[in-house]
Amino acid sequence: MFPHTITVWNQIASNHTGGFTYHRTIIKNVRYESTIAKQSTKEGESNASTLLLFVFPTEMVSDKGNFTFDTDTYIGLGEIDTDLPSGEHYSIDSVNKVNAMGNDIHHFEIKGS
């Protein structure tokens, strides 16, 4: 088993208002490496934090329903009990699937900032 838990917020379009809402899912048994950093610029400081997340579909446990990892998704570290992205959270920059022998998906490597 992998030691970490994440919160995933998928953005969902709301046709009748023109806005969007979020669907929150808690996922256990994943692994992440995070770096929390600030970058100094002439205008002040900017966020330079990064996330490297490893998701093994055969090992993970989800609390409810379907979810996706895409550019409209936010990931929070730990179990976060809010309907909107909050706490230390990251947006997804890339998702790479890593295939095992036989071309089956072994795991996903997700990079965020």
In a 3-state reduction of DSSP, which class is residue 72? coil
* Whole-number Å distance between alpha carbons of 84 and 70: 17
Query: Six-digit token pair at 17?
Result: 């208002």
The better pLDDT of the pair 66, 102 is held by 66
The better pLDDT of the pair 1, 9 is held by 9
Q: What is the mean pLDDT of residues 4-28?
A: 88
CB 16 within 8 A of CB 78: no
Nearest to residue 33, comparing CAs of 104, 110, 86?
110
Q: What is the mean pLDDT of residues 28-45?
A: 76
Q: What are the φ and ψ backbone dihedral angles of 20, each rounded to 5 degrees?
A: -155, 165
With cut-offs at 50, 70 and 90, classify the pLDDT of residue 63. Answer: confident
Is the predicted pLDDT of residue 95 greater than 80, yes or no?
yes
* Whole-number Å distance between alpha carbons of 31 and 1: 9
Which span out of 35-44, 46-55, 93-102 was modeled with the highest average pLDDT? 93-102
The pLDDT score that the predictor gives to residue 45 is 59
Radius of gyration in angstroms for the set of CA atoms belonging to the chain, rounded to a whole number: 15
What is the pTM (predicted TM-score) of this model? 0.82
The secondary structure of the chain in percent helix, strand, coil, rounded to multiples of 5, reads 5, 60, 40
Is the predicted pLDDT of residue 36 greater than 80, yes or no?
no
The pLDDT score that the predictor gives to residue 46 is 53
